[in-house]
């Protein structure tokens, strides 16, 4: 009988830790997107509550609706010139400015927009 309590407590703790890790990714993704030495997405995109937003690129809004396919969004950040050779958005991933893990965190954040 005691075991039931232990299992329940472990489950609750696991759920708590997992949901925390998840929101941590979103926070980190936002930092990476706003960081001038990292994504610097604000230089060209209007995003949520970011100040000094540029408008060379389209505003990053309704991301989940517009990019239901995560891979398409990933590729846009990894190397926009792949789909648009004339894009002047920098190929962040290809140039090694941000890593795959970092792009995935940025995507977690973008999907909250």
Q: Out of 26, 44, 53, 113, which residue is the one contacting ligand HEC (CB under 6 A)?
A: 44
Under rule CB under 6 A, residue 106 binds ligand HEC: yes
# of chain residues touching ligand HEC (CB under 6 A): 22
Under rule CB under 6 A, residue 92 binds ligand HEC: yes
Please measure the distance between the N-terminal and C-terminal CA atoms of the chain and give it in whole angstroms: 46
d(C-alpha 112, C-alpha 17), whole Å: 20
Site for ligand HEC in 66-85 (CB under 6 A): 73, 76-77, 80, 84
Residue closer to ligand HEC (CB basis): 10 or 83: 83
Under rule CB under 6 A, residue 34 binds ligand HEC: no
CB atoms within 10 A of CB 53: 17
d(C-alpha 90, C-alpha 92), whole Å: 6
| Number of residues that make up the chain | 113
């Amino acid at each position: 009988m005691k075991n039931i309590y232990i299992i329940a407590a472990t489950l609750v703790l696991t759920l708590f830790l997992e949901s925390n890790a998840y929101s941590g990714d979103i926070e980190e993704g936002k930092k990476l997107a706003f960081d001038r030495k990292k994504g610097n997405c604000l230089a060209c995109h209007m995003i949520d509550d970011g100040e000094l937003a540029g408008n060379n690129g389209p505003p990053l809004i309704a991301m989940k609706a517009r990019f239901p396919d995560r891979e398409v969004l990933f590729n846009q950040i990894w190397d926009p010139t792949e789909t648009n050779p004339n894009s002047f958005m920098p190929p962040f991933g290809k140039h090694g400015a941000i890593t795959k893990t970092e792009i995935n965190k940025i995507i977690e954040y973008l999907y909250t927009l």
